[in-house]
Amino acid sequence: MISSSTCDAARGGSPPLRARRIAAIAGIACSASIGLSASAARAQQPARDPAAAEALFKAARALVEKGDYAAGCPKFEASLALNPSASTMLNIARCHEHDGKIASAWEAYSRALTLNRETAGDKRRRGLEELANKGIAALEPRLPKLVVAVKGAPAGLEVTRDGKPLPAAALGEALPADPGPSEIRASAPGHKPETRTVTLEEGKTATVELALQAQAATPAAAAGPSKKDDGGGVPTWAWISGAVGIGLSGAAVVFLVDDLAAIDALRENCREVPAGTYCNPGYDFAADNARKDRDFGLFVGLGGAGVIAIGAAIIGIATSGSADEPAPSDSAVALPWIAPGGAGATLRGSF
């Protein structure tokens, strides 16, 4: 966001051409920023419709005067949303009183005093203020109050009253509440959640004390990570064996390709004649022949070792995940070996 000081700096002084250009760009950005901020502020304000609010207010008064609070009180709420006023708030307070919601009514009377500051006309404003104060004074002795306390509050404590969050600063304070049952729930990481239900009565203060108990560590957590369970239940050696098998198989393919290339070179440069084998002058027959034999041996050895290692990995993965089976004393793993005349792998361990 661009600050007002930046905008002021963009407008002042007589800087050089480049600075003036920068200032002009900053000025445009400032104007756009201010315009967007104003638009956002207008968008956040609730839409007012005084005419519709007045119509809803009159309809609500007519229903309530007939004793139909169930239909009339929601219309007062709708009228308040369209055009907040002290008179509408006073009627909502009376609706709460009719429903036995003493704390809600007390809160509505208090809010009416705040809205009354915008009431036009001193006489009307004083009259509405008197009605609100009388309502508050009549309800205060009847207010139920609830004190919620948590002993040894742990880190990350969350407390709710009837599903609504209760701030930490409110703990231990006597807070107004409507009569009837109220549910208090407390929770914290690493602790067992606790829920209490208390029935609040008019003019009385109820206290609920909670003490969260730390959860006992599970046997698996206390024992630490399992030697077998390093990869979602699959033993580590199985992953290693699989990786070795894939690597050996890849190397075998490389030697197979080179073996076929040596064979092609021999066929291209040598041919059978009645006296034996004839090769083109300058062609090193012995080198490619030795290369062919060596590559084929390595292909067979490494390929076989790769198959064995991959098979061991498959067995390890397939047999893992059983918590009831004891882990093997030794981890099985494929150990590759390469010699001048071939290659292979040796499996060590148990399954």
Bridge pairing between strands 205-210 and 194-200: unpaired
Residue 323 pLDDT: 45
Which DSSP state fits 200? Answer: E
Given a cut of 60, is residue 42 above it in pLDDT? no
Render pLDDT for 323-349 as a digit per residue (tens, 0 to 9).
444 444 444 555 555 544 555 555 555
Residue 230 pLDDT: 45
3-state secondary structure of 49: coil
Q: What's the average model confidence in pLDDT over 137-151?
A: 93
% of the chain surpassing 70 pLDDT: 73
β-strand partners of 346: 335
Q: What's the average model confidence in pLDDT over 222-236?
A: 56
Given a cut of 60, is residue 350 above it in pLDDT? no
Containing 130, the helix (H) or strand (E) segment is helix 122-139
- The confidence band for 65, taking pLDDT boundaries of 50, 70 and 90, is very high
Q: What's the average model confidence in pLDDT over 40-68?
A: 82
- The confidence band for 289, taking pLDDT boundaries of 50, 70 and 90, is confident
- The confidence band for 157, taking pLDDT boundaries of 50, 70 and 90, is very high
Do the domains 50-142 and 145-210 sit in the same CATH topology, yes or no? no
Cα 249 versus chain centre, distance = 42
Residue 340 pLDDT: 46
Distances 307 to 24, 194, 256, 313 between C-alpha atoms, Å: 72, 56, 15, 10
Are the C-beta atoms of 242 and 310 separated by less than 8 Å? yes
Cβ density class 100-110: b for 16+ within 10 Å, e for less:
ebbbbbbbbbb
Given a cut of 80, is residue 160 above it in pLDDT? yes
The residues near 124 (Cβ < 8 Å, ≥ 6 apart) are none
Tokens of 293: 């034999």
Q: In angstroms, rounded to a whole number, what is the distance separating the alpha carbons of residues 344 and 48?
A: 84
Render pLDDT for 169-224 as a digit per residue (tens, 0 to 9).
999 999 999 999 999 999 999 999 999 999 999 999 999 999 889 887 665 555 55
Q: What's the average model confidence in pLDDT over 34-53?
A: 60
What average pLDDT does the chain have?
A: 78
Q: Report pTM.
A: 0.50
Domain limits of the chain? 4-43, 50-142, 145-210, 236-348
Alpha-carbon radius of gyration of the chain: 43
Q: Which fold has domain 50-142?
A: 1.25.40
Given a cut of 60, is residue 9 above it in pLDDT? no
Given a cut of 90, is residue 243 above it in pLDDT? no
CATH architecture of 145-210: Sandwich (2.60)
Given a cut of 50, is residue 26 above it in pLDDT? no
- Between 11 and 192, the more confident residue is 192
Given a cut of 60, is residue 233 above it in pLDDT? yes
Render pLDDT for 95-120 as a digit per residue (tens, 0 to 9).
999 999 999 999 999 999 999 999 99
